[in-house]
Every structure is written in structure tokens, then in C-alpha cells.
Amino acid sequence: MSMLGVGLKRWVAGGVLCLMMALGSSVLGVAVTLTDENASVVIDPESDAGMSDWVVDGVDHLEKQWFYFRVGDGPEQPLNALPLVDMVVSDGGFGDPNPERVVMRYADQRIMVTIGYVLTGSNPGEGFSHINEDISIDNLTREPLDVSFFQYSDFDLAGTARDDWARVDSPDLFNTARQNDGVVAFSEAPVTPVPDHFEVSLFDGTLAKLTDGDADDLSDVAGPIGPGNLAWAFQWSRELAPLGESRSSLLISKLKRIETAIPEPGVLGLMLVGVAGAVGRRRRVA
């Protein structure tokens, strides 16, 4: 991408976050539920629980998705270790009055992190939902600042943890995460900029790295791993330029999608015949 293209993308991402903050109502510090059509998700901004309970057509697919960061050599900390300075929820309309957007801003004297989510659902029974995510990390000091930012995800697709497979893949860029259990497929892509490190692991290998007392980089294990209770994470590591200079910010964007396999009518018919046959056989045995 050209410098102009990068600059334009940053301006658009920053503008979207600012616009969303300008249009909504402030609800500092309380857990919020975003809702759109057949989907909802819970975000608890001042708890390690972070984002959870992504429910699509009544089925919860998400145990936890949250952010961790490291400044300098220090151990990783959850995003909510920073003071939450603003939180705005807003309704984009689309025919229902429930809010489906949130922007959260955290800051101390060193860094400011702004997270924006937009939830989109589908018609009841379609089993589809996605979440757009825009993140901005800004150096607030007059010195260069070494920052590592982590996104940790523990999906339990279809509400069942131990039958899931996960991998990080792309033909040549590791900018896509996928998880699947044969019924529900999850993807997170494109992730821009491409993460510096990534990791797929059985729970709770990655979470232990992010919550112990020392500095860790992710292992670059791409998988696929499964079946099991899987989690995965992305890491971006940058030296942010001093406040006021170009490259004092890191902008990250991505799209998460959940798709439930809906059996074709013919397949559904065969399944029902199979169920009826099984019931009939059980009756005969009884």
C-alpha cells in the first residue's frame, strides 16, 4: 500500500472511531450488551472477562476475547489495567432501536488505547453474524515507546469447547485465524496490519503467558490443532514515535465472522428420516 493509502486508511479508521463517539451516549464502566437482529454480545470494559457471550440464534459461541499489552520490558497486563476514560454506545438504526456499536477509550500518562466494535446480525435462523473491530494505540509521551499489543480469543463454537479445531493461516501472510467444529465456522480476517506473532494452543497455554509475571512473545505455532478447547492470539510489537510525530499511533482493524451450517432441505429431510428410523428401532427394541 502506498504512503497515501496508509495515511488515508488511518484517517478513515480514526475518523470512524471519533464519529461513533460523537453520535452515542456515554456509559462509563458498565457492562453493555450489543444487539442486532439474531445476534448479541456482552462487553465488560473494566473486567478481564472483556468480550463474551457472542450469541447467534440463541447459541453462545464465545467464552472470552480480550486485549493485553506490554510497555517496555514489563509483563503483559490486561487492557483494563489502564483507566477507562470514555465509553460510548450507539445505535446505527437498521430498523431496530438496540445499540450495536461501542467505543471504549483507555489511557494513562504513557499510552491511549481506543477500541471500536460494530455488531451485525442476520435474519432469525440464518446463523450468521459478524463484528467489525477498529483499534488505535497512541503514544502520549515525548519519547519513543516500545509497545506490544495482544488480542486473545477463546471461542467455544456452538457452546461446546472440546470438539473445536483452530489454525492461523494464509498463503503467505499470517493474517487469518480460523476455528471450526463441523457445525459452526469462525474466521477473523483480514487482520491488518499483519501481526508480528501469533499462537494457537490448548487452553490455557496462551492465557498463562499473558497473565504471568514476565514478558512473553507468542510462539508462532499456527496449528491446525484439535479437537480440543482451543484459544489463539495475535501480537503486534512496535516502537511508537513520540506524540505529534508520524507513526506515533498503531491502527489495527479486523472482521470476525460466525457462520452456522444450515442443512439443505434435502439433507434435513434425510436427517429426519434417519431420526424417525432410529426412534422406530428403539421402540422395537423396547
Number of residues that bind Ca ion (CB under 5 A): 19
Task: Kindly state whether residue 216 participates in binding Ca ion, applying the rule CB under 5 A.
Answer: yes
Piece in contact with Ca ion (CB under 5 A), picked from 84-92, 127-135, 187-195, 260-268: 84-92
The 3 state secondary structure assigned to the chain is: CCHHHHHHHHHHHHHHHHHHHHHCEECCCCCEEEEECCEEEEEECCCCCEEEEEEECCEECEEEEEEEEEECCCCCEEHHHCCEEEEEEECCCCCCCCCCEEEEEEECCCEEEEEEEEEECCCCCCCEEEEEEEEEEEECCCCCEEEEEEEEEEECHHHCCCCEEEEECCCCCCCCEEEECCCEEEEECCCECCCCEEEEEECCHHHHHHHCCCCCCCCCCCCCEEEECEEEEEEEEEEECCCCCCCCEEEEEEEEEEEECCCCHHHHHHHHHHHHHHHHHHHHHC
Piece in contact with Ca ion (CB under 5 A), picked from 4-12, 83-91, 236-244, 252-260: 83-91
CB of 151 to Ca ion, least distance (A): 15
Options 37, 133, 134, 154; binder of Ca ion; rule CB under 5 A: 154
156-195 residues near Ca ion, rule: CB under 5 A: 156-158, 160-161, 163-164, 181
CB of 213 to Ca ion, least distance (A): 7
CB of 184 to Ca ion, least distance (A): 7
Task: Kindly state whether residue 138 participates in binding Ca ion, applying the rule CB under 5 A.
Answer: no
CB of 180 to Ca ion, least distance (A): 9
Q: Which residues bind Ca ion (CB under 5 A)?
A: 76, 91, 96, 98, 100, 154, 156-158, 160-161, 163-164, 181, 209, 212, 214, 216, 229
